[in-house]
Chain A
Amino acid sequence: MISIRGLTKSFNGTAVLDGIDLDIAPGERVVIIGPSGTGKSTLLRCLNFLDHPDAGRITIGEVTLDAARATRAEILALRRRSAFVFQNYALFANKTAKENIMEALVTVQGRPKAEAEARALEVLAETGLADKADSYPASLSGGQQQRVGIGRAMAIGAELMLFDEPTSALDPEWVGEVLDLMRRVAARHQTMLIVTHEMQFAREIADRVIFMHGGKIVEEGAPEQIFGAPKDERLQRFLKRLTH
């Protein structure tokens, strides 16, 4: 169970998250859409404490914290409950594909190296990159790097996977393979919170779509409802602009 209550965050006095309330059920796939600069990335980053929220409560599984007075230990515990897939992949540049996946298992979870390596190879096979196990990120294509990035997040076994526009930095030719991999992750009932501009994909994969505007959740519902019968005028305008 994931629960967010009254999450706020401002940068230099400007509210970027303006009281976000959100519950996500286990296995649920939630897609966030909305215009640029409305705080979608900031929401994801706050859930992972890459940005520190000003206030609010966050619960991921057994970890609950009060953002305003979170201790260092609580922050680490929260981060270990979720896995982040970055727009720019953010693979560890000094580590091979395999080592990128092993890193969290060995260093953070303290699993034996041999076990972590077996798990990493398994995940690489699932991402279709078994032959790239010993390649460094610099020698991989964008699509391959992002698949390793998703593999790194899969291997952790986190309760929540956060995707911040995982295909936006990719050349069009690589988008398909990354979306395919995300479909496979979804098929395993992984709880996912996804920010994307791929509306077709959102419609297909989401159990629920959230429309954010000005740091708030303005409208949410099933994809058919959000895309087929949007109520809020700002959402209607946003969707209209996309189809043009």
Chain B
Amino acid sequence: MRGLDLDYMLGLVPVILGYVPLTLGMAAAGMVLALILASLLAVERVFRLPWLDWAVVLFISFFRGTPLLVQLFLFYYGLPQVLSVLTSIDGVTAAIMGLTLHFSAYMAETIRAAILGVDRSQWEAAQSIGMTQLQMMRRIILPQAARVAAPTLVNYFIDMIKGTSLAFTLGVTEMMGAAQKEAAGSFLYFEAFLVVALIYWAMVELLSQGQKRLETYLNKAYAR
């Protein structure tokens, strides 16, 4: 048993913090893209377009039914062998793509359930004033569904932030990769990974605070 090398840890903090923008950038990009894709998938699942529904069902089933790490390897190491256009894809892009596809499948189910949970009277009132389907979804249904789905979606965002650490396995030097490299020089693996863990933890805690504010904001219209 040895004591913690606190000086080493303190010195490492700014180094690892330097990679936070990359981690958050990957997660933010993945989240925005996943939200868009998930909304489209969810709306399709609600309206069930006859020539598209089976493909969406299959997509969601596959990406929920296989591990994220397997999907990332499949895209980054596997797919380029089959599709030559993908050979030039870099690790960061591949990670964002993988996170997007993976999380959009989960988020689509959350959004679909939230849409279907919007009271029937809201759909009918929107129809009765002569709104098109698109106007109804954009102005009435999706905003109300968003309030219900938001807490769960933020949880997926938190999962996604943690999920970016897997980009390390695609050769991306993000927080985890940086710590690994540092530790390989100093042999202080425990300290290095502890710093990474604490920084992830702090980020998630900050986000949880934001989550509470977001919920208060979204519930504003519904308070008695």
Contact = CB atoms under 8 A, between A and B. Distances in A.
Interface string B78-122: 000000000000000000000000000000000000000001011
B143 interface: yes
Given A86-B121, A94-B140, A94-B144, A103 B221 contact: no
Q: Which size class do B's interface residues fall under?
A: 20 to 34
B61 interface: no
B139 interface: yes
A82 B122 CA distance: 17
B125 A91 contact: yes
Interface stretch (B13-21, B51-59, B127-135, B183-191): B127-135
Interface in A58-94: 76-77, 79-80, 82-84, 86, 88-94
Nearest to B135: A107
Given A90-B122, A92-B122, A136 B221 contact: yes
A101 to B, nearest CB: 10
A108 interface: yes
A205 interface: no
B124 A86 contact: yes
A222 interface: no
Interface residues of A, number: 29
Interface in B123-166: 124-132, 135, 139-140, 143-144, 147
B86 to A, nearest CB: 41
Nearest to A77: B130
B222 interface: yes
B143 A94 contact: yes
B121 A138 contact: no
11 contacts: A50-B127, A50-B128, A77-B130, A84-B125, A92-B140, A93-B144, A94-B143, A94-B144, A103-B139, A104-B129, A104-B130
What are the nearest 8 A-B pairs in CB distance? A80-B130, A90-B121, A84-B128, A90-B125, A79-B130, A104-B129, A136-B221, A94-B143
